[in-house]
Amino acid sequence: MSPLLRAIIVLLVVLLAAHAPMLLNDGLFMDDWLVLKPRPDYFIDIDFLLNGAGHPIFYSYDTFANWTGAPIAVMVSLAVAGIVLGAISFALTATRLGLLDRAEAVGLALIVWTYPGYQLWAGKANAVYVFSFGLLFIGAWLLTLAFAASGLQRVLLRVACALVFLLSFALNSTIVLYAFVMLGLFVAIWRGGDASDGFVRRTWLASWRCALGYPELVLLPLIYWGSLNIWFKRIGVYAQHYDAHFPTLRELAGGWQAFFAAAYRDVLAHAVRAAITVPTIFILAAVLVGIVLLLLRSDTKPTTSRLGILAPLALAAILFLALSSPYLIAGLRPSSTHFYESRHLLMFGVPSALALLAFKRQAERWTAPGVAFAVVFGAGLILSIGMLWSDYVFMQARTLKQEALERNLAGRVQPAATVYALDDGFFDYPSRHVPFGLAEVTGMLRLAWGNQPFFGFALRAERPDILRRMDEARKAPGSAFHHFDPTGPQATISFQPGPGAAPNQTLVRKYYACRLLARCDVAEFLAQLAQVTIKLGPIAGVLPIEKDAAPSR
């Protein structure tokens, strides 16, 4: 077995082990309930993706997934494919270009594709994000092959490359990384030029050859954005949500600070708390990483040049600023406290991986390459995989709580109400919990009692004017909430921890024992998880919808 093949196998096995909990999580989260059908008779209206949000590629993926009748399995498959193929393509591209040795390539790929700042790895609709991210690196690998190919093979590789890059734009911010790929193409053409031309002429000629030699790649982002703005223009609340503007220097500084805190500082702080609370997860991560370190060894001489150390560190800083800029221009910021708001952080594992590479190369000045790799990347991978598993535990526990509520509701006769407030007692339980979103509560009601004009929300997660705001939102053009009706009779659902409730890690461990080892009945396990009661009548603390002063004609 060749050393490169062995390295790829190690990468594949570790990625599958790190993301194994994704395969067991069949739950929907937040906006997943608006675009995916957990059951064939579950009603959704995803036209808003085309006629409001301007996401035709998302629409195509979601439509196909629902058409198969197994959308959750399809989306999990997309996410796994994006993780595995993206990481392998990253490693192959880096080693083929001679930028990294095999151990460095695998180490960076593992850091990027286990990055825990992005907590939505188990999200189903957001699997398109993960797949798009992977497609970008697949496109880079195809471009690397096309650059050295000729004839028909070169033509086919370039067509495939353009198509893959186009599909990767489903996650709009990948265009930033695409710009860096194109910069790499320019550098390759520049290095192949005639040194006697001088720097200025050589640079101009390289730019000209890049534009003329690869016009499809140069025009691709323009074609994509032009198509969106002509045929799939954002309207209504989505036009307001993506209110592009030129941020001030103060906004940029505050935004970059928020991204740094959510992407790195908070991840470290959460890792320390998680390691103290649940050390078992990090011990298992250390065992897995130890196996990786035994199988991977640096196969190049130590990088002692100052450029080899400073270049990845500088690139990490530049990428961090560049990757966050599109969100800051749109007025968006991430949050580490709500898992859904981490969706802006998927690609921020790339800067952290490059920073670790710089630290590892600096450490090689003081010790052997193998020791430097083990210390720097070993510590980084233990933290990354440990936190990744911790987040998977949280998401699995969230799925179990949703399923417990839905099963309890399905087992009783529907009350005479269509608007429900959820009084979520797990919010006070001594284990991490985030209140359910309105799409989740409404989705559970529809799943339990059928396709009626339900509207549900978590009482503590919304403001008192939630009904009024939803009434306005459902009437807006391009709205995702046309099938929500906040005007019907009201009731309050009390959802309190039951005798089977436990901290997230204990709850998930018991669930895995039930599901995988058949140590208990899953239905009985869920029935013990929560106690549910329903009280009919106006919802306390929520403002009624205002009636028109004059009758409508």
What pLDDT score does 75 carry? 96
Helix ranges (DSSP H) in 99-149: 102-113, 127-148
Q: Which of 402, 428, 390 is nearest to 505 (CA)?
A: 390
Tokens of residue 545, six digits: 């919808």
DSSP per position, 420-453: EEEEEGGGGSSS---PPPHHHHHHHHHHHH-SS-
- Nearest-10 Cα torsion for 282, 288, 290, 296: -140
The C-alpha angle with vertex 96 and arms to 95 and 97, in degrees rounded to 5, equals 90
Q: Which of 424, 439, 437 is nearest to 484 (CA)?
A: 439
d(CA 457, CA 492): 10
Q: Are 377 and 356 in contact (CB under 8 A)?
A: yes
What pLDDT score does 230 carry? 87
Q: Are 434 and 29 in contact (CB under 8 A)?
A: no
Please write down the HEC assignment for all residues of 312-334: HHHHHHHHHHHHHHHHHHCCCCC
Q: Are 427 and 460 in contact (CB under 8 A)?
A: yes
Q: Please compute, for residue 134, the number of CA atoms within 13 A of its CA located in the half-sphere on the CB side.
A: 22
Tokens of residue 88, six digits: 């392998």
SS3 of residue 221 by DSSP: helix
375 φψ region: left (φ > 0), alpha (ψ -120 to 50), beta (else): alpha
Residues of the chain under the 70 pLDDT cut: 240-243, 297-304, 547-553
d(CA 242, CA 230): 17
d(CA 446, CA 410): 10
d(CA 37, CA 267): 33
Provide the pairing of β-strand 490-497 with 530-536: antiparallel
Placement of tokens 């028909």 in the chain: 152
Placement of tokens 């600070």 in the chain: 257
Residue pLDDT, tens place only, 401-435: 999 999 999 999 999 999 999 999 998 898 999 99
296 class by beta-carbon count within 10 Å (0-12 exposed, 13-18 middle, 19+ buried) = buried
Chain center to CA of 109: 16
Q: What is the DSSP letter of 493?
A: E
Residue pLDDT, tens place only, 276-330: 988 999 999 999 999 888 887 665 566 667 888 899 999 999 999 999 998 998 8
Which residues on neighbouring strands pair with residue 496, listed in sequence order?
531
The C-alpha angle with vertex 214 and arms to 209 and 219, in degrees rounded to 5, equals 115
98 φψ region: left (φ > 0), alpha (ψ -120 to 50), beta (else): left
Kind and range of the H or E run holding 379: helix 369-410
d(CA 446, CA 14): 39
What pLDDT score does 546 carry? 78
Placement of tokens 């060894």 in the chain: 297
Q: Are 527 and 407 in contact (CB under 8 A)?
A: yes
Q: What is the DSSP letter of 224?
A: H
d(CA 111, CA 124): 22
Chain center to CA of 65: 18
Chain center to CA of 17: 18
d(CA 296, CA 299): 9
d(CA 28, CA 42): 13
DSSP per position, 161-216: HHHHHHHHTTSTTHHHHHHHHHHHHHHHHHHTS-GGG-HHHHHHHHHHHHHHH-HH
d(CA 550, CA 528): 51
Phi, psi of 450 (to 5 degrees): 95, 180
What pLDDT score does 549 carry? 42
Which residues on neighbouring strands pair with residue 493, listed in sequence order?
422, 534
d(CA 18, CA 272): 19
Count of residues in the chain: 553
SS3 of residue 230 by DSSP: helix
SS3 of residue 38 by DSSP: coil
DSSP per position, 497-514: E-TT---HHHHHHHHHHH
Contacts with 259 (C-beta within 8 Å, 6 or more apart), sequence order: 320, 324, 327, 333, 334, 344, 345, 348
Tokens of residue 87, six digits: 């990481």
